[in-house]
Amino acid sequence: MEFNQADRLKKLPPYLFIEIDKKKKAAIEKGVDIISLGIGDPDLPTPDFIIEALYKAAKDKANHQYPLGSGLPQFRKAIADWYKRRFNVDIDPATEVVALIGSKEGIGHLPLGVINPGDVVLVPSPGYPVYNAGTLFAGGEPYFMPLLEKNKFLPDLDAIPADMLKRAKLIWTNSPNNPTSALAGKDFYVKVVEFAKKHNLIVANDAAYTEMYYDGKKPVSYLEIPGAKEVGVEFHSLSKTFNMTGWRVGFAVGNKSVIKALAEVKGNLDSGVFNPIQYAGIAALEAPDSVTDTLRKIYQERRDIFTAGLKKLGWHFQVPEAAFYLWIKVPNGMSSADWCGKLLEEAGIVATPGNGFGPDGEGYFRMTLTVDKARLEEALQRLGKLK
């Protein structure tokens, strides 16, 4: 027998990266030499000392049972210590931290803890697709805030309609931004905090890429702003910072009532993060800056090579100051989906169409820096022939 999907699933667009992976696999089966610049999955290995911490903890049979719901006290303390060291922000590890099975999981689950059917959620467009998906699963109504180039890809809070604000309960922000790589400064976050207090909004800031920056320009945390913790939380991940995408470990910090709501959702739906992975997370968070400095140098070299080559080819984009994404104008008036199809079919390059990130992503496509220099240079050669 075949059964129909729930109506909530019918409201969702196909999950972008699953569709891209299908097309990539189909091309590989045809014998195409694929250069995959579509999904933000680092090609570099997880550092050995993190793997060793996992191995040591996994050999302890005490870690083979269910983990604690909000995370090991040691892991939550390591998170709080890291926030103090990195951003000079004080976090109570007992009440203001929850461990996540990757920040994606927490982002998707948060609306279930704070949104009632019919509530409006302010979602950036283009933006990480899970902001919208989590809203729909909770019965909320997304309102897409356009991220426009003329506004440096930051949302114009003053342009949000009054009728939406009356029903809004949650606003998503994201810096360094996926997919645009735009950076928000303290001035923007000051405005967000004031805006949230005025309209009784929860702020949820996605900060997964703060440690991937260039030219020594460190991104700020939303929680650095006075009063930020009164109205919001911040999501973080070890995935990009330490090449741990497959490990599925992240965390949320901030307002204790919001953290409690998220923890209660998780307590009913999952059993927490495997303890040995949390111990590996402690090793990562306590690592010296030299570890992440090395990774940043690799990505900076890639960024410089690739952006210089794209400029020579005449592509329109802003050189990223953080994250490992390039948000590029689609040429020749094509749709983003058609253009990415052309890239795959004629150049063997996988890229992500901008429309998959929301309605305001149309007209752009995203490429990543998650392959080595030689493959980036090969991609430039193929792009040169394509144009």
Using an 8 Å Cβ cutoff, are 232 and 203 in contact?
yes
Rounded mean pLDDT, 332-360: 91
Question: Does 1 map to a domain?
Answer: no
Distances (CA, A) of 289 to 84, 107, 207, 249, 286: 14, 27, 18, 20, 9
* Tokens standing for residue 220: 């700020």
CA 80 remoteness from chain centre: 20
| E strand intervals along the chain | 35-36, 97-100, 120-125, 141-146, 168-174, 202-206, 232-237, 250-254, 325-329, 349-350, 352-353, 364-368
Instruction: Give the pLDDT confidence of 41-67 residue by residue, as tens digits.
Output: 999 999 999 999 999 999 999 999 999
pLDDT value for 5: 86
Question: Does 215 map to a domain?
Answer: yes
Helix axes 103-114, 256-269, angle to 10 degrees: 100
Report helix, strand and coil shares of the chain as percent, to nearest 5.
50, 15, 35
CA 371 remoteness from chain centre: 19
* Tokens standing for residue 127: 């933006």
Q: Which residues contact 339 (CB under 8 A, 6 or more apart)?
A: 330, 331, 332, 353, 365
Three-state SS for 140? coil
Dihedral angle sign, alpha carbons of residues 191, 89, 211, 126? negative
Instruction: Give the predicted TM-score (pTM) of the model.
Output: 0.95
- Domain co-membership, 82 together with 213: yes
Residues 174, 177, 182, 187: what is their CA dihedral angle, to the nearest 10 degrees? Answer: 10
Among the ranges given (1-5, 113-117, 125-129, 160-164), the one the predictor scored with the smallest mean pLDDT: 1-5
Closest residue by Cα to residue 49 from 240, 302, 290, 299: 290
Q: Which residues contact 264 (CB under 8 A, 6 or more apart)?
A: 113
- Domain co-membership, 311 together with 254: no
CA 141 remoteness from chain centre: 21
Greatest mean pLDDT among 36-40, 69-73, 93-97 lies in: 93-97
CATH of the domain at 188: 3.40.640.10
- Domain co-membership, 99 together with 211: yes
- Domain co-membership, 169 together with 237: yes
Which of 287, 312, 328 finishes a domain?
287
Question: Does 225 map to a domain?
Answer: yes
- Domain co-membership, 325 together with 223: no
Question: Does 327 map to a domain?
Answer: yes
d(CA 286, CA 283): 5
CATH of the domain at 23: 3.90.1150.10
- Domain co-membership, 227 together with 245: yes
Which of 258, 287, 316 finishes a domain?
287
Host domain of residue 31: 7-45+290-386
- Domain co-membership, 230 together with 323: no
Question: Does 244 map to a domain?
Answer: yes
d(CA 85, CA 83): 5
- Residue 366: Cβ within 10 Å count: 27
Instruction: Give the pLDDT confidence of 247-286 residue by residue, as tens digits.
Output: 999 999 999 999 999 999 999 999 999 999 999 999 999 9
- Domain co-membership, 314 together with 369: yes
- Domain co-membership, 36 together with 114: no
- Domain co-membership, 75 together with 14: no
d(CA 212, CA 305): 17
- Domain co-membership, 227 together with 307: no
The total number of structural domains in the chain stands at 2
- Domain co-membership, 266 together with 295: no
Q: For residue 23, name the pLDDT band (cuts at 50, 70, 90).
A: confident
Q: Does 17 score more than 70 pLDDT?
A: no
* Overall size of the chain counted in residues: 387
Q: Does 387 score more than 70 pLDDT?
A: no
Question: Does 180 map to a domain?
Answer: yes
Rounded mean pLDDT, 142-148: 98
What percent of the chain stands above pLDDT 70? 98
Three-state SS for 203? strand
Q: For residue 379, name the pLDDT band (cuts at 50, 70, 90).
A: very high
- Residue 132: Cβ within 10 Å count: 23
Question: Does 206 map to a domain?
Answer: yes
Which of 263, 287, 311 finishes a domain?
287
Question: Does 2 map to a domain?
Answer: no
Phi-psi map region of 279: left, alpha, beta (phi>0 left; psi -120 to 50 alpha): alpha
